[in-house]
Amino acid sequence: MSRNTLYASIALMLVVLIGSAGAYWGIKKFRQKQNQEFRFEGKLTARQDGVEPDKFKEAILTDAVMTKAITEHDLVSRWGLSDEVAAKVKLTEKFSVKVEGREITVGFQDKDKSLAQAVLKSLMASLYEQAHGKQSGGGM
């Protein structure tokens, strides 16, 4: 084998190696991009310290509130689920509550950016309606 043939074969192997590594990296980044979900968050201030995130999440995600959000945004068909019960389970999984002192951060995530924002807004509006209804109803 001549020297030029040896150099050409080494160069070809390097190009194949670098090309395959680049293709692997590109496919990996593409898959990460497809699995990306957008998260929207809202902050609230609690009246007292020691709010438990799980109890607060249960208070917000009542059956009526979840049913309203599912029908309002047609989540069963958008997520490709079989029924409303499966949509409630997925809604509960995608909704998060974090508590730091008196600050409560509620969040919702989804692959569709506008849907994530709209669902969080409707959940926050339902929370406001619950709190406002309790305050005005309790005073009478």
Q: What pTM was computed for the model?
A: 0.64
- What is the C-alpha to C-alpha distance for residues 71 and 64, in angstroms, rounded to an integer? 11
Determine contact, residues 68/126, Cβ cutoff 8 Å. yes
Q: Give the mean model confidence (pLDDT) for residues 133-140.
A: 46
pLDDT for residue 81 is more than 80 = yes
pLDDT tens digit sequence for 28-80: 877 766 667 788 888 888 777 777 888 888 888 888 888 888 999 988 888 88
CB 91 within 8 A of CB 69: yes
Say how far apart CA 138 and CA 15 lie, in whole Å. 75
For helices 63-73 and 113-139, the axis angle rounded to 10 degrees is 140
- The torsion angles phi and psi of 46, rounded to 5 degrees, stand at -80, 155
